[in-house]
Amino acid sequence: MNVSIIGLGFVGLTTAVCLAGKNIKVNCIDTDKKKIDVLSKGISPFYEQGLSKKLSKGIKTKNLNFLTNFSLIDKSDIIILAVGTPSNNDGSANLSFIRSASRSIGQRLKNVRKFQVIAVKSTVPPGTTTNIVKSIIEKISKKDATKDFGICSNPEFLKEGTAIYDTLNPDRIVIGSNDEKSFKIMKNFYEKFYRPKKIPIVKTNAQTAELIKYANNSFLATKISFINTIANISQRIPGTDVEKIAEAIGLDSRINPLFLKAGLGYGGSCFPKDVTAIINLAEKLGYSPELLKNTHKTNQMQPLESIKLLKKSIPNLKNKTISVLGLAFKPNTSDIRESVSIKIIKKLKKEKAKINVHDPMAIDEAKIVLKGINFCSTIKECIQDTDGCIIATEWEEYKKISPQFFKKHMKKSIIIDGRRALSPKKFTVMVDDYQAIGLGKNS
């Protein structure tokens, strides 16, 4: 089996190393030469648990081949499109990488005789696989989809931080194809790959598969904005705690406990982008999706709850030094895209506070976008002599900080637990002030 993967971001690269791990030859294609050079040396351009090990192994076994051109896709049985679909200014999905990759595939397909299936893994608006990818390839290659090559939508549901695990243990596989032959090839491919595990396969058409991906992400995003709404209410009712509420409602099997962690809002390269894309899409269709608009609006305001909590103790932040623990959009990644910390830091700057920041992994990334703040290499250096501290990412090492440590090093131990990383029981009695998202304080 020979597979080509176009676009080596989190989805493309993770898929590549997992396939290589099962002895499949993978041509890994990206137009970014720097990325290809680095990857060819066995270095991952971003941190992802377990990825480096699998990458080195794939190179050693010669199952992974990195290149900037499309020459080797001729040999492939399946060509996976995993290029990025960033947001345009109006929130819609930018499909320029999809278009250019489709043109390159079309060029190569001109001279290919065997039946290859093009699987679109990128998150794209419904209709893209058929109306853009298929049309471009047909036009350029002068071949017919279904007869000469196959095409399907095959969305991806992996999460950053657990990308390898999620790829090897998916809840389901969605194959959206408008022709039976492509569906069968993809189904056989996945059944063989996951054997002896039996992963449910959802069979549908391409446009439904594309919408499933948006529905999945916007449902999870809505679940987060929902629990954050409850947290904001709970925070204002003395004695209540959103963590208990989430535990109790999560035990209702119709709700389930996952994605009910209240905090400062969702970030990353997917939820914010996909929620705005589906809103944009619906509006173009003449429907205003009020629920999703409010999911987005709630999320945009949520990081500022941490500043409101901070201001309870420090009404005027001018010239105060505030430490922010955590820059990554979630733990176990160096990714800061749409991270809530960035919004918090911008607001603190506006209020003329001095800012110290720390993150176990994302400092280098953050230095590119954040200026005029103090980047610290240790937690101690970050909180030292500060007037208040906001926990913005729930890294394991922050969960282990004791109240005594904050008390010893901060000017005044005012702690805002934006991610419910610390024990309210211990912290409420031991630091000068402990405020947490969703925690209704008695005083």
Positions touching ligand UGA (CB under 6 A) are 123, 156-160, 217, 220, 224, 259-261, 263, 266-268, 270-271, 329-330
Spatial CA neighbour of 295 closest among 226, 393, 209, 210: 226
Q: Phi then psi for 301, rounded to 5 degrees?
A: -85, -20
Nearer to ligand UGA, 245 or 317 (CB): 245
Nearer to ligand UGA, 270 or 310 (CB): 270
Say which of 270, 376, 382, 389 is annotated catalytic.
270
Nearer to ligand UGA, 266 or 434 (CB): 266
Q: How far apart are CA 266 and CA 280, in angstroms?
A: 19
Between vectors from CA 28 to CA 27 and to CA 29, what angle results, nearest 5°?
110
Shortest reach from residue 337's CB to ligand UGA, in Å: 9
Q: What is the CA radius of gyration of the chain?
A: 24
Nearer to ligand UGA, 278 or 353 (CB): 278
Q: How far apart are CA 117 and CA 209, in angstroms?
A: 16
Spatial CA neighbour of 345 closest among 381, 316, 375: 375
Q: Residue 176 forms beta bridges with which residues?
A: 153, 204
Who contacts 128 (Cβ-Cβ below 8 Å, separation ≥6)?
Answer: 95, 98, 120, 210
Would you say how long the chain is, in residues? 443
Shortest reach from residue 180's CB to ligand UGA, in Å: 27
Q: How far apart are CA 221 and CA 226, in angstroms?
A: 9
Who contacts 354 (Cβ-Cβ below 8 Å, separation ≥6)?
Answer: 319, 320, 321, 322, 374
Mapping DSSP to helix (H, G, I), strand (E, B) and coil, where does residue 26 land? strand
Who contacts 390 (Cβ-Cβ below 8 Å, separation ≥6)?
Answer: 306, 310, 322, 323, 324, 325, 344, 416, 418
Nearer to ligand UGA, 157 or 194 (CB): 157
Nearer to ligand UGA, 70 or 395 (CB): 395
Nearer to ligand UGA, 130 or 217 (CB): 217
Shortest reach from residue 333's CB to ligand UGA, in Å: 8
Active site includes 376?
A: no
Shortest reach from residue 58's CB to ligand UGA, in Å: 22
Spatial CA neighbour of 293 closest among 305, 281, 304, 306: 281
Shortest reach from residue 67's CB to ligand UGA, in Å: 24
Q: How far apart are CA 25 and CA 19, in angstroms?
A: 8
Q: How far apart are CA 391 and CA 418, in angstroms?
A: 5
Nearer to ligand UGA, 138 or 160 (CB): 160
- What burial letters (b/e) apply to 35-61, b meaning 16+ CB within 10 Å? bbeebeebebeebbeebeebbbebbee
Mapping DSSP to helix (H, G, I), strand (E, B) and coil, where does residue 9 land? coil
Shortest reach from residue 310's CB to ligand UGA, in Å: 19
Shortest reach from residue 222's CB to ligand UGA, in Å: 12
Structure tokens at 434: 């402990």
Q: Which residues are catalytic, by number?
A: 270
